[in-house]
Structure 1
Amino acid sequence: MTSFSIKKYDAIFYELWNQFVSEAKNATFLFHRDFMEYHSNRFKDHSLLIFDEKEKLIAIFPANEVANTIYSHQGITYGGLIYKEIKLDKVILLCKEVVGYYHQNGFDTIQIKTMPSIYHQKPAEEFLYALFLMKAQLIRRDSLAVIDSRNDLLISKGRMEGVAKGIKSQLKIVEEFDFESFWNQILIPNLENKHQAKPVHSLKEIQYLQTKFPKNIRQFNVYFKDKIVAGTTIFESNQVAHAQYISANEDKNELGSLDFLYHHLITEVFATKKYFDFGISNEEQGRKLNFGLSFWKESFGASTIVHDFYEVTTSNYKLAENVLL
Structure 2
Amino acid sequence: MEIIRYTEEWKEEWDKFVLESNNGTMFHMQKFLDYHEPGKFKFDHLIFLDKGNIIALLPGSIIDGMFESPIGASYGSIVTKDITFSKAMEIVEALIDYGKKNGIKEFMLTAAPMIYEEYPNQSLDYAMLWQGFSYKLHYISSAIKLDPQRDIIERFSPTIRRNVRKTFRDFKLRVEANDNYEEFYPILLENKARHGVKPTHSLRDLRRLKELLPDYLKLFMVYDGENPIGGSLMFYPNKNVALCFYNMLKYEFAHLKPIQRVMYEVVKDATERGYKYVDIGVSQDTKADNPMTPSMSLIEFKEKFDAKAIMRNTLYIKL
* 8 Å Cα contact 2:284/2:291 also seen in 1: yes
Q: 1:313 aligns with which of 303, 311, 318?
A: 318
Aligned to 2:303: 298
Structure 1 Cα separation of the partners of residues 291 and 123 of structure 2 = 24
Structure 2 Cα separation of the partners of residues 136 and 48 of structure 1 = 18
Aligned to 1:52: 50
* 8 Å Cα contact 2:82/2:121 also seen in 1: no
* TM-score in terms of structure 2 length: 0.91
- Given residue 276 of structure 2, which amino acid in structure 1 is its aligned partner? K
Aligned to 1:41: 39
- Given residue 46 of structure 2, which amino acid in structure 1 is its aligned partner? L
**Superposition deviation, residue 268 in structure 1:** 4.3
* 8 Å Cα contact 1:162/1:253 also seen in 2: no
The answer to whether 1:65 aligns with 2:70 is no
Q: Name stretches of at least 5 consecutive residues in structure 1 with no aligned partner.
A: 315-325
Aligned to 1:91: 88
* 8 Å Cα contact 1:163/1:259 also seen in 2: yes
- Mean Cα deviation higher: 281-290 or 4-13: 281-290
**Superposition deviation, residue 5 in structure 1:** 1.7
Aligned to 1:122: 119
**Superposition deviation, residue 269 in structure 1:** 4.7
CA pair 17-268 structure 1, distance change in 2 beyond 3 A: closer
Aligned to 2:267: 266
Q: Name stretches of at least 5 consecutive residues in structure 2 with no aligned partner.
A: none
Aligned to 1:214: 214
* 8 Å Cα contact 2:3/2:46 also seen in 1: yes
**Superposition deviation, residue 67 in structure 1:** 0.9
RMSD across aligned positions (CA): 1.7
Instruction: Describe the superposition over 1:67-120 as per-residue Cα deviations: whole angstroms up to 9, x where unpaired.
Output: 111101222212221112431101111111112212211111111112211111
Q: Structure 1: which 4+ aligned runs deviate by more than 6 Å?
A: none
Instruction: Describe the superposition over 1:226-268 as per-residue Cα deviations: whole angstroms up to 9, x where unpaired.
Output: 0000101001120111100011011343111111111122134
* 8 Å Cα contact 1:109/1:311 also seen in 2: yes
Instruction: Describe the superposition over 1:192-251 as per-residue Cα deviations: whole angstroms up to 9, x where unpaired.
Output: 1x1221111111011111111111111000000200001010011201111000110113
The answer to whether 1:104 aligns with 2:98 is no
* 8 Å Cα contact 1:252/1:258 also seen in 2: no
Q: Identity of counterpart residues, as a percentage? A: 24
Aligned residues: 308
Aligned to 1:226: 226
Structure 2 Cα separation of the partners of residues 163 and 251 of structure 1 = 18
- Given residue 181 of structure 2, which amino acid in structure 1 is its aligned partner? F
Aligned to 1:159: 160
- Given residue 210 of structure 1, which amino acid in structure 2 is its aligned partner? K
- Given residue 47 of structure 1, which amino acid in structure 2 is its aligned partner? H
